[in-house]
Structure 1
């Protein structure tokens, strides 16, 4: 099995971060029909048709996607961990575009078992792959990126809080399928028979995405990353959108905060999910507390807010009011 040796210093200095490039790679898999994440809406027929046209315009990239990009493997150069200087999608994409062609083709050969089809052995393969990723970013990720980024940031807050309560072992073992903490500084990252890899002196990153399974990435020997699925939180966020009737009753901000409390959340999580400022969220939480629609409790170092039975009933009734005729709940 694939195991990383992670010393206490490496683990202590590891960090969670958001990567626009990783999310773009996840969307490439989704566009190509390779993976469907729970809670994710499928791309529209128009987006899928445009994607097919984009591939048809570049046969080498089409072959690359068909032969090389697989759910359980992709070349390292395609999804490098973000560097400390990377702030935007195009900062991250620069690493893909600047990959030496010989390096990219060597990685392709590894994935294909030793040989590269002549149609793939083009001198500008990294630049073409970067062009495809740029297209996926512009057409499927960038329009909703601010909201998606807030949801990823909320997931990061939640997991860092879990670390303070249950430690790294609990968080790492539940992060993605096939990954678990083995103890003695050993992290199993997958079930493949690969030699143990020592991460001493390297930076370790954890990156949420909408990928169904996630993957691991590295820029040896400097940075390693675990891209893990955040699909459950995305589904929760979509399900927790405020009903229009509730917004008319309480106001859109307060209704949104109440709807997001379908599960206990901290103020920081609510700020990340809603996009409103800390003062705004805090003010509306106080009103909801005074109205006895929410309650709070302490969990470790955090204070978590949750709906009372009255709050649950109010959201449920207003959701039923929003439902189209003939589709209202009978319960």
Structure 2
């Protein structure tokens, strides 16, 4: 199995980071067609698939590259390097990718590749052309929706960190991504592949959520920075229901939005803040109104207070 031995200092200093580049690469994995897709990705493909196919479907480089670099069980390391900042900008992440040499990128793409490498990938300009595919996908299909996606991913981070405070690292890391288990004593099973153990000490450890149904690992040397890309919780990543106009007129747009966001599972105030983008005081005030009206109830879970819809609230917010 893929086993990481993580020092106490590294684990204590680990960070959750939202990466626009990781989300873009995860989306391209869905477009490439060799990875399973989440409900959020299928919605994205329905909306943007025609434009992607029109732009890249007949391109001699794009699909051969995607099929080689993002294949089942493998994503080329140079595509998503562990971010340097806690809030990385897409342009900065793309610039680091573009600084990769063609030789290094080809080595990443072809590692453990069991078939002839397409000739187009051996031509000069591999990294430049890969960066162009990624940049176009971000600009035309993701940048406009990024504020909402970032809120969804940040809400997942909030849920994980709240769980950390109540249950420790075992509660957070067990099942963070398929095949992952916290074994204790600084040992983390990152996947079920038969790879040699890896020691993570003296550097940085990052956890990066995306809307993909699976994840991958990444690291950069020198620097000893490691990252675990993991799937955002489904009940957050797949929340696409919007408050109807009549419900918004009845309750007000923010209260209607909060009531609809409680569709899938109970959520804490901080999760709702992350999902809606509204301030803590605003969300808390709206929750009090909904609670007083009998539309939501609350219960304590560890150190968190979770809100959930009552039968009345569910009936009121049900799609008509």
How many angstroms apart in 2 are the aligned matches of 1:261 and 1:234? 10
Q: Tell me how many residue pairs correspond in the alignment.
A: 317
Q: CA deviation at 1:54?
A: 3.5
Matched residue, 1:75: 76
How many angstroms apart in 2 are the aligned matches of 1:207 and 1:180? 17
The runs of 5 or more residues in structure 2 that have no matched partner are none
CA-to-partner distance for each residue in 1:241-277, whole Å, 9 max, x for gaps?
Answer: 3233322211111111122223222111111111222
Could you tell me whether the CA contact under 8 Å between 1:60 and 1:120 is conserved in 2? yes
What aligned pairs does 1:289-304 form with structure 2 within 5 A after superposition?
Answer: 289-304=291-306
SS at match of 1:193: coil
CA-to-partner distance for each residue in 1:180-228, whole Å, 9 max, x for gaps?
Answer: 1122211111111111110101211111101121111111242111111
Distance 1:286 1:215, change over 3 A: same
Cα RMSD (Å)? 2.2
Residue 207 in structure 1 maps to residue 208 in structure 2: yes
How many angstroms apart in 2 are the aligned matches of 1:248 and 1:69? 46
How many angstroms apart in 2 are the aligned matches of 1:157 and 1:117? 43
TM-score by length of structure 1 reads 0.88
Distance 1:45 1:151, change over 3 A: closer
Matched residue, 1:267: 269
SS at match of 1:59: coil
Matched residue, 2:196: 195
How many angstroms apart in 2 are the aligned matches of 1:75 and 1:283? 46
Could you tell me whether the CA contact under 8 Å between 2:31 and 2:45 is conserved in 1? no
Matched residue, 2:220: 219
Q: CA deviation at 1:297?
A: 2.8
Could you tell me whether the CA contact under 8 Å between 1:215 and 1:227 is conserved in 2? yes
Residue 26 in structure 1 maps to residue 26 in structure 2: yes
Distance 1:61 1:291, change over 3 A: closer
Distance 1:7 1:119, change over 3 A: same
CA-to-partner distance for each residue in 1:114-142, whole Å, 9 max, x for gaps?
Answer: 97554322222111111111011112211
Larger Rg over CA atoms:
1
Distance 1:248 1:226, change over 3 A: same
How many angstroms apart in 1 are the aligned matches of 2:60 and 2:314? 54
Q: CA deviation at 1:315?
A: 2.5
How many angstroms apart in 1 are the aligned matches of 2:267 and 2:59? 46
Distance 1:195 1:50, change over 3 A: same
How many angstroms apart in 1 are the aligned matches of 2:237 and 2:35? 16
How many angstroms apart in 2 are the aligned matches of 1:277 and 1:236? 23
How many angstroms apart in 1 are the aligned matches of 2:47 and 2:247? 33
Distance 1:147 1:195, change over 3 A: same
The runs of 5 or more residues in structure 1 that have no matched partner are 323-331
Could you tell me whether the CA contact under 8 Å between 2:247 and 2:256 is conserved in 1? yes
How many angstroms apart in 1 are the aligned matches of 2:303 and 2:112? 46
Q: CA deviation at 1:236?
A: 4.9
SS at match of 2:92: helix
